Amino acid sequence: MSSPVSKSPSPVHRAKSFLTTHEKRLSLFAFAFGFVWDTLTLTRIDRLFDNIVLTSYLFTAFFSIALINAHSSGNFKSNLIKKGSDFARFLLPFAFGGLFSGFLIFYSRSGEVFTSAPFLLLLVALFLGNEFFKKHYQRLMFQMSIFFVTLFSYAVLIIPILVGEIGGFIFLLSGVASIFLFLLALRGISLVAREEVEKTRYSLYAIIAIIFLTFNFLYFNNMIPPIPLSLKEIGVYHEVSRTRSGGYHLVFEKAPWYSLGKKTSSVFNRTGSEPIYVWSSVFAPTRLETEVQHHWSYFDEKTRVWVSSSVVGFPISGGRDDGYRGYSMKENASAGKWRVDVETLRGQVIGRFEFTVDEAKIPPELSTELK
């Protein structure tokens, strides 16, 4: 009597077994790969591709929440809903991870890191914590709270581009739009999981109100980067002049080789009473027109604080890949530490350059560049 021949596992079974066995390693690999991929591919927030990527993550997150709660409510018992729910449990952290990855990329490119540290640290925590929140993604209140954070973060990015303006009113408009979309999404979830929505509705409203107020507190205290503006280049120069073609002729001291990311030296060796120029390039999306300002400050060695010296404003227009260029000049600047903040009219810091003015006995070696 012949022994029964055991069937070999199907390809689907083997694939499922492999994913289960190596879930953590594959998750970490996908996490790292996704961040690198987003860094290389997400370049401009006003670009169609970038917005398709972010909105696809938002829709993926919403439909994943709907599928998970449709199955857990018990109102839908079909095998298709069950399989969709199982798949959605993997898709939801993937979508949230992609969103926070994109937000971290765009927000960190806009604004000075130190002044925006609280908000950027929050994004970093949500991005890195995404891998540890998976067990909480089964709870509607947690799902929708994180979903509202992503809606608000995206609205702050896209509304200024659609309207062509930035400022406090536009930020409030972004918040109102995110609340409207959130309520619309919650209504959609209630169609498949009414009992769960009704059970958590008022607690969820309280959490959303706290998130909304926190965003506004951070923004109006200049702790959120001035999205969608970003500093492309800044430096201190011995001479800045316009060319006939509309460009700039720049004369500067080269930064030493170890000053990574800097073109001009952070030491300005002044001869005589020559003026000091700071030239910057600020990126703004297409159609957006606003005004920025160079805020000059010097460091008082006695009081050990930065003291405001002067503010020079100029308008910028969006759309140029390398940013809109402008400069300011300071005459009779004292020797010592100086900094120039590139700011919005509300005082949000887009970027900063710190340098030291030294009295040079020998004229420094200068380089020139056309921009």
> DSSP of 307-330, one letter per residue?
EEEEEEEEEEES--TT-EEEEEEE
Closest CA to 233 of 268, 267, 283, 277: 283
How many C-beta neighbours within 10 Å does residue 153 have? 26
The number of domains in the chain is: 2
Residue 195 CA to chain centroid, in angstroms? 36
Residue 300's region, left for phi above 0, alpha for psi from -120 to 50, else beta, is: beta
Q: Round to whole Å and give the CA distance between 163 and 166.
A: 8
**Domain for residue 4, yes or no?**
no
Integer Cα distance of 68 and 85 in angstroms: 5
User: What is the β-pairing status of strands 239-242 and 248-252?
Assistant: antiparallel
pLDDT (mean) for 269-273: 89
Report the first-to-last Cα separation within the chain, whole angstroms: 88
* Co-location of 157 and 205 in the same domain: yes
Nearest to 356 by CA among 264, 286, 288: 264
200 and 239 co-located in one domain: no
Residue 81, domain extent: 11-220
For 306-351, write each residue's pLDDT tens digit. 999 999 999 888 888 888 999 999 998 999 999 999 999 988 999 9
- On whether residue 126 sits in a domain, the answer given is yes
Q: If you average pLDDT over each of 19-28, 73-82, 88-97, 106-115, which comes out highest?
A: 88-97
State the average pLDDT over residues 207-222.
92
pTM: 0.80
* Token reading at 100: 């926070």
pLDDT at 272: 85
Q: Confirm whether 98 is domain-assigned.
A: yes
* Residues 6+ away with beta carbon under 8 Å from 88: 63, 64, 65, 67, 68
110 shares a domain with 92? yes
| Token pair for 80 | 């298709």
Name the most confidently modeled range: 16-30, 75-89, 119-133, 253-267. Answer: 253-267
